[in-house]
């Protein structure tokens, strides 16, 4: 008998293997060890293959690891759907659906991985061909040479600790990075958000119903009755729960979940980022006690492994987790909630590039479940579907207890510049409001979606900016605790000390321009020295438990002003926050991205929604250079419907999603010509096929033309149906196997840079 096996290799379709006569037949969902090239890998059995078509010299499986299905068959089905829809290998998707191996149960920390850049690979190759190089080779120390050799064989890179184990010191790696020959990245950079958090131990008695079931407001009650009716049908449907910020959606999720459990069905709840919303998760934990599993990226491998098996054994009724929890091995699912469905974190920005919200809908269809998509600012896709009647719509138009929405004030920064000069960061109305609010014992949150101190270093003589040697971006200046500052790349982590003179023309007139959160923090301290300020962004939150500690201190009133990136815009509920300031509403608008207006609208609406959630009235002050831009104007009015009407017109006119389906294809190369040629080849093959079913735009150099030392060419496919586009791409790539390592296919992309 022959079986199909999904192996974890990019783009590879299921492979056929022979099952030796004396071996048991692996069931669909069982793990098998199989030979692949010169290695052996663990794959997932998908079922028997058609024997007639198989060649005689098929390789045999080595070992069947499970007597039963390991991944539940319905999750295998879901993974295969994802693989097909997103044009990824089924094995890649299935490995996302499996728990990590028990062997690494000691738990991971953030690990730094270092890989060669394109330039580094060239140099390594030149060293290897011993003297055959045409250009003089750089003089590298012995340790750097060793690192180069070690890394040359592993394009995806090696963890820094592993290199250390091999006797390669950290500073040798650092030198390679500085020379632009290698780049560093962090993997699994999120840590256990619950470590040291007081909410961790909250456990209810699993046999007790929730003690503190709240009585719903009339609005909530009306929404609840509609949702229960849909749940009680026991069949698949999707509902958009469109409720303004502070309208009490979380309470509805809780009560609906209890209702599903009472009906003997299980519940899956997806949330954007648990680290940022510990309050929501502790509410769920308090409500469902031991029957709940909370999956977040900070769990150690061992904890993940144990939790996966607990769910798989049926010991869990409610799973709360971030996007990958959509593959949780839970059965009898009757309710799936996707909270803040518009949130960008549902999209995985590496293969398989799925959107957890969309996979949740497919899972709901397979399970016959009610899928609830909750948001105050639904994605265009979701609202479009609701408008066309594909989704039901349940609306909460008012805040709990009729608390008013924050009053919003726009400050035109052009006026501020005219009055106070071009270096103004905090406008006078904002400074006054901070002073006044804090004086009353209230709190403020200030948002700037850009971290660092200065966003560029510019030479006043030649106009050049300090750029990353590996990526086509300018370096951001960060200040360090000891006062020294460094210029750093936000894409590849390259960093250097800020030079005293221009690297191109040697003129000593370097100026730092643009500003990020670090600068805002400094500015508040300078203008309002009495205020207690803290900052929340990726730089300050590196340390384990840092976010819990800062949010805890803010909740306890030990901090007056919280400055941060979009991390502070999400889901928080701080009753004493009465002022929200947006330092620059325009940060996202300049991006060459058709979703720029949508993202700006969502961010502004969400952040303004953080003010006035307690009994006190709130106010939002929005600084902008474009007060007339519709996304800013309408966010200030919190008018989603008007925004949607405007934005959908633009998407239809420009033929962007959701008016059409979009696939983004990026090809990487050592030179731009190399990338462009390969992209043009691929496009030619696509056009030779089904050219009526879709349109191809490009290829052209990607907006981010160079990344981690590689050049990037890009093209788009646009069409009403996704299947012909995907099929054409997959078949074309089958003809060009050498491209597989250099191509990224992104179906329904969120970011097109
Ligand atoms: P949303 O998720 O819609 O922004 P939340 O679920 O955070 O809103 O609710 C806003 C606030 O209202 C929270 O402080 C919550 O505890 C409170 N709340 C929710 N439902 C009720 C209710 N029925 N009675 C009183 N307070 C409620
Ligand atoms: Zn870089």
User: Is residue 575 in contact with ligand 1, taking CB distance under 6 Å?
Assistant: no
**Residue-wise pLDDT tens digits, 204-236:** 333 444 545 678 999 999 999 999 999 999 999
**Residue-wise pLDDT tens digits, 164-195:** 767 788 888 888 888 888 888 766 432 222 33
CA of 401 to the centre of ligand 1 (A): 9
Mean pLDDT along residues 458-472:
93
Q: What is the structure's pLDDT at 53?
A: 65
Average pLDDT, the chain: 87
**Residue-wise pLDDT tens digits, 406-417:** 888 999 999 999
- Coarse DSSP helix, strand, coil percentages of the chain, rounded to the nearest 5 percent: 35, 25, 40
Q: What is the structure's pLDDT at 52?
A: 66
pTM: 0.84
Omega prior to 409 cis, within 30 of 0: no
Q: What is the structure's pLDDT at 54?
A: 65
Q: What is the structure's pLDDT at 188?
A: 46
Q: What is the structure's pLDDT at 423?
A: 87
User: Is residue 247 in contact with ligand 1, taking CB distance under 6 Å?
Assistant: yes
CA–CA separation, 4 vs 14, rounded Å? 6
Mean pLDDT along residues 501-515:
90
Mean pLDDT along residues 554-564:
94
User: Is residue 249 in contact with ligand 1, taking CB distance under 6 Å?
Assistant: yes
Mean pLDDT along residues 655-680:
96
Instruction: For 543-560, give one letter per residue: b (16+ CB within 10 A) or e.
Output: ebbbbbebbbebbeeebb
User: Closest ligand 1 atom, CA of 396?
Assistant: 3
User: Is residue 639 in contact with ligand 1, taking CB distance under 6 Å?
Assistant: no
> Which of 251, 281, 399 has the most ligand 1 atoms within 8 A of CB, as the residue to mutate?
251
CA–CA separation, 368 vs 285, rounded Å? 26
pLDDT at residue 154 above 80?
A: no
CA of 559 to the centre of ligand 1 (A): 24
User: Is residue 246 in contact with ligand 1, taking CB distance under 6 Å?
Assistant: yes
| CA proximity to 605, closest of 241, 343, 218, 322 | 343
At 422, the pLDDT band (50, 70, 90 cuts) reads confident
Please name which ligand lies nearest the alpha carbon of 399: 1
Most confident range (mean pLDDT) of 287-291, 590-594, 666-670, 685-689 is 666-670
Percent of the chain residues topping a pLDDT of 90: 59
At 560, the pLDDT band (50, 70, 90 cuts) reads very high
Q: What is the structure's pLDDT at 654?
A: 93
Most confident range (mean pLDDT) of 212-226, 376-390, 451-465 is 376-390
Instruction: For 38-55, give one letter per residue: b (16+ CB within 10 A) or e.
Output: eeebbbbbbeebeeeeee
CA dihedral for 609, 614, 618, 620, sign (positive or negative): negative
CA of 753 to the centre of ligand 2 (A): 15
């Amino acid at each position: 008998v022959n079986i199909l096996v999904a192996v974890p290799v990019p783009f590879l379709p299921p492979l056929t293997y022979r099952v030796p006569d004396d071996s048991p037949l692996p069931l669909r969902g069982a793990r098998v060890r199989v030979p692949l090239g010169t290695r052996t890998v663990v794959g997932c059995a998908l079922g028997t293959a058609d024997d007639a078509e198989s060649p005689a010299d098929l390789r045999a499986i080595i070992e069947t690891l499970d007597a039963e299905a390991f991944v539940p068959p319905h999750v295998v089905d879901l993974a295969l759907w994802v693989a097909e829809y997103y044009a990824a290998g089924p094995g890649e998707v299935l490995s996302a659906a499996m728990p990590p191996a028990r062997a690494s149960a000691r738990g991971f920390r953030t690990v730094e991985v270092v890989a060669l850049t394109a330039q580094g690979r060239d140099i390594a190759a030149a060293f290897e061909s011993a003297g055959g190089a045409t250009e003089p080779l750089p003089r590298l120390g012995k340790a750097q040479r060793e690192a180069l050799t070690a890394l040359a064989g592993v394009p995806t890179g090696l963890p820094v600790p592993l290199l250390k184990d091999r006797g390669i010191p950290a500073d040798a790696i650092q030198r390679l990075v500085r020379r632009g020959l290698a780049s560093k990245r962090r993997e699994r950079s999120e840590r256990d958000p619950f470590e040291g958090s007081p909410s961790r131990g909250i456990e209810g008695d699993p046999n007790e119903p929730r003690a503190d079931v709240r009585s719903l407001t009339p609005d909530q009650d009306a929404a609840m009755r509609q949702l229960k009716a849909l749940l009680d049908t026991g069949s698949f449907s999707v509902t958009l729960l469109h409720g303004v910020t502070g309208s009490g959606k979380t309470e509805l999720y809780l009560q609906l979940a209890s209702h599903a459990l009472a009906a003997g069905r299980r519940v899956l709840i997806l949330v954007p980022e648990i680290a940022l919303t510990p309050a929501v998760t502790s509410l769920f934990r308090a409500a469902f006690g031991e029957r709940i599993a909370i999956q977040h990226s900070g769990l150690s491998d061992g904890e993940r492994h144990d939790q996966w098996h607990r769910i798989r054994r049926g010991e869990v009724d409610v799973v709360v987790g971030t996007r990958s929890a959509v593959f949780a091995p839970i059965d009898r699912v009757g309710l799936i909630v996707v909270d803040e469905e518009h949130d960008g974190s549902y999209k995985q920005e590496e293969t398989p590039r799925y959107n957890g919200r969309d996979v949740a809908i497919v899972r709901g269809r397979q399970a016959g479940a009610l899928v609830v998509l909750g948001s105050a600012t639904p994605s265009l896709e979701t609202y479009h579907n609701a408008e066309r009647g594909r989704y039901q719509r349940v609306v909460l138009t008012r805040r709990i207890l009729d608390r008013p929405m924050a009053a919003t004030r726009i400050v035109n920064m052009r006026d501020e510049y005219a009055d106070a000069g071009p270096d103004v960061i905090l406008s006078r109305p904002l400074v006054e409001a901070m002073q006044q609010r804090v004086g009353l014992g209230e709190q403020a949150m200030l948002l700037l979606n850009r971290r660092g101190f200065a966003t560029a270093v510019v030479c006043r003589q030649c106009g050049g900016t300090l750029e990353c040697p590996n990526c086509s971006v300018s370096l951001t200046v960060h200040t360090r605790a000891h006062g020294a500052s460094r210029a750093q790349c936000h894409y590849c982590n390259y960093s250097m000390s800020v030079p005293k003179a221009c690297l191109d023309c040697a003129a000593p007139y370097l100026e730092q321009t643009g500003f990020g959160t670090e600068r805002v923090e400094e500015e508040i301290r300078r203008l309002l020295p009495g205020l207690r300020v803290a900052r929340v962004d990726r730089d300050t939150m590196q340390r384990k438990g840092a976010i819990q500690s800062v949010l805890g201190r803010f909740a306890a009133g030990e901090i007056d002003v919280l400055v941060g990136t979009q991390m502070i815009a999400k889901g928080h509920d701080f009753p004493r926050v009465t002022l929200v300031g947006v330092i620059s509403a325009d940060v996202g608008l300049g991006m060459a991205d058709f979703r720029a207006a949508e993202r700006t609208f969502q961010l502004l609406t969400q952040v303004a929604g953080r003010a006035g959630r307690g009994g006190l009235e709130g106010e939002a002050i929005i600084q902008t250079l474009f007060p007339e831009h519709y996304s800013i104007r309408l966010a200030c009015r919190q008018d989603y419907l008007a925004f949607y009407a405007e934005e959908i017109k633009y998407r239809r006119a420009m033929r962007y999603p959701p008016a059409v389906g979009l696939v983004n294809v990026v090809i990487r190369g050592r030179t731009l010509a190399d990338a462009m040629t390969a992209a043009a080849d691929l496009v030619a093959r696509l056009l030779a096929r089904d050219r009526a079913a879709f349109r191809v735009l490009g290829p052209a150099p990607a907006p981010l033309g160079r990344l981690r030392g590689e050049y990037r060419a890009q093209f788009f496919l646009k069409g009403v149906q996704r299947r012909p586009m995907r099929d054409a791409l997959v078949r074309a790539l089958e003809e060009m196997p050498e491209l597989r390592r250099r191509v990224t296919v992104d179906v329904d992309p969120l970011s097109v840079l």
